[in-house]
Amino acid sequence: MKPAVYFDDYGEEGTLKCLLCPHNCVLRPDETGLCNVRKNVDGMLYSLNYGQLTSIAVDPMEKKPLFHFYPGESILSVGSWGCNLKCDFCQNWEISKERPKVIKRVVPQQLIQIATERLSRGIAFTYNEPIVSFEFILDTSRAAAKEGIYSILVTNGIIEREPMELLAQSVRAMNIDIKGWNEDFYRSEIGADRSIVLRSVEIALSAGTHVELTTLVIPGKSDDPKEMEEQVKWIGSLSPDIPLHINRYFPNYKCKIPPTSTEKLLELAEIARAELNYVYIGNASLEGQTDTYCKTCGNLLIQRKPGKISMSGIDEKGRCTGCQREIPLVF
């Protein structure tokens, strides 16, 4: 166990309020928060999953998904356990809703060592929600940066302002979920306020973090064309160059709704492309929908096929070989 950073005394003696995410769980002695991984032990809040890894793999960067950040590179990817949301459609419920077998316990320096041994220039905190491993991620990403190893987060963005600012200053890239645009859906089925996610996106962008966004399209829940129109208008007002991944949903955990149709994915992608320059369809194997095209001349910049990335449409300065437009990529 590791002492948590964000908490305060609350009300009667020995009771604590966790200040890491907006749930602000109030915990009496021996109680654990909604995320299952923060516990009041004798009047001190502890992180229960510090350095506990339940998954380790070297993945393509595109699997995070990050398409405009070191395209084609592989990255050491690790997950722990726990989550601060309650989605019935969770795609990783075995590690987010339950306490699985921990396959490795590490301190930050050991994880950095593993990244080096596996020839990875970065570490991705992914699979379960990294926010609930705040202390471990902050310690690791700061130590890794000193050794020239970058960190990335794949996150739901449900976190208080100050810890988000610290994370944004410590990692190089984030993929943040916008799980839909309907505020009632966010509140009742996800268990959070949509405005918190939007704030997190803005904090990450202001810190200079590379940001990509993902929306899982669930039939009847997050597939309304009008809502997609509003969502991409908001993203476009920040920057039309922010990549958006529109992902196909498949039934999982408690959600039995049939998978999203490809027609719906294509419809929403078309709406998104009216506002945004880089829109991709994920989990669907649709020809050309994961490729990057130049917005000015239509040149194929990056072609993504399973196990093979071709960047023949981009020159060594990161410009389109057809029209010289500068392409927003970290590479």
Residue 35, interface with ligand SF4 (CB under 6 A)? yes
Min dist. Cβ of residue 78 to ligand SF4 (A): 19
Contact 120, 76 (CB under 8 A): yes
- Stretch in the footprint of ligand SF4 (CB under 6 A) among 32-40, 179-187, 263-271, 305-313: 32-40
Identified binder of ligand SF4 from the candidate list 40, 74, 80, 84, rule CB under 6 A: 84
Residue 120, interface with ligand SF4 (CB under 6 A)? no
Residue 190, interface with ligand SF4 (CB under 6 A)? no
Residue 132, interface with ligand SF4 (CB under 6 A)? yes
Task: Give 169: exposed, middle or buried? Use CB within 10 Å, 0-12, 13-18, 19+.
Answer: middle
Minimum CB distance to ligand SF4 smaller for 165 or for 291: 165
Identified binder of ligand SF4 from the candidate list 15, 24, 303, 310, rule CB under 6 A: 24
Count of other CB atoms within 10 angstroms of residue 25 = 21
Give the distance from CA 17 to its chain's centroid: 26
Min dist. Cβ of residue 36 to ligand SF4 (A): 8
Minimum CB distance to ligand SF4 smaller for 22 or for 322: 22
Strands (E), 35-73: 38-41, 44-47, 52-53, 55-60
Helix ranges restricted to H, the chain: 93-96, 108-117, 134-146, 161-170, 183-185, 194-206, 225-238, 262-273
Identified binder of ligand SF4 from the candidate list 33, 51, 71, 163, rule CB under 6 A: 33
Residue 34, interface with ligand SF4 (CB under 6 A)? yes
CA distances (Å), 93 to each of 56, 64, 99, 275, in order? 17, 17, 10, 33
Minimum CB distance to ligand SF4 smaller for 83 or for 279: 83
Length of the chain: 331
Q: Are strands 104-105 and 52-53 parallel, antiparallel or unpaired?
A: antiparallel
The two tokens of residue 287 are 């020809």
Minimum CB distance to ligand SF4 smaller for 55 or for 84: 84
Contact 184, 173 (CB under 8 A): no
- Stretch in the footprint of ligand SF4 (CB under 6 A) among 17-25, 52-60, 202-210, 240-248: 17-25
Residue 20, interface with ligand SF4 (CB under 6 A)? yes
Min dist. Cβ of residue 118 to ligand SF4 (A): 30
Binding site for ligand SF4 (CB under 6 A): 18, 20-21, 23-25, 33-35, 38, 84, 132
